[in-house]
Amino acid sequence: MNVKTTTNKIDIACNTFKQVHNSGVSKFHTLDSWLEKESNTFLSETVTQKHTYKKFVRGQVVKVDFGINIGSELCYTHFAIVITKKDSINSDIVTIVPITSKKGSNRVSLGKLLHKAYPNSLKYNLYCYANLTQIRSISKNRIFSKQKQFVCDPSILNKIDTTLVTMYTNQNIPNKNINVNKGV
């Protein structure tokens, strides 16, 4: 593929993004900012390659920029719980379960988890849920570097683990202490 064809495809994509941004669909109101941030992230990958990354512990709550994604995939900024068993400074990927304030199917109640970390903020004085249908592995570059560091209680990780096994495998682990919302 020659440079002219490649450039033409990028120009077409830019025009399409402009059309989407101007469509009036609320999901895309910050598309311009996201694309600028994403393109700068890609550019930094061409200039520098990190050799070490921050190490996260299992159960650590992190703030993640999910960006703007396709369909019903999670978008924007959300807190998430790291579920990677053994993270390494050599890995640029970590697996997380996003946190949401909305009840729904296959969500594990976390109580007022964020309020425990941010007790002086009314914004986080609400019940939250682990959104198990949106589990994913992400680049550590999506995680905000400046945030309060805290790890959730092991009982929360146990609820998440048990529910994930039940959701995604044929194993059935009986546990009467799990509170999974089946769509409220």
Query: Where along the chain do its domains lie?
Result: 3-47, 60-182
Distance CA 135, CA 157 (A): 14
The dihedrals phi and psi of 151, each to the nearest 5 degrees, come to -120, 135
pLDDT at 116 over 90: no
Q: Are the beta carbons of 97 and 130 closer than 8 angstroms?
A: yes
Predicted pLDDT at 4: 65
Q: Are the beta carbons of 122 and 91 closer than 8 angstroms?
A: no
Site of tokens 């002219």: 4
User: Can you give the pTM of this predicted structure?
Assistant: 0.84
* Mean pLDDT of the region 14-21: 91
Alpha-carbon Rg for the chain, nearest whole angstrom, is 19
Reported as a single tens digit per residue, the pLDDT across 119-149 is 888 888 899 999 999 999 999 999 998 888 8
pLDDT at 88 over 90: yes
Which CATH code fits 60-182? Answer: 2.30.30.110
Give the pLDDT band of residue 160 (cuts 50, 70, 90). very high
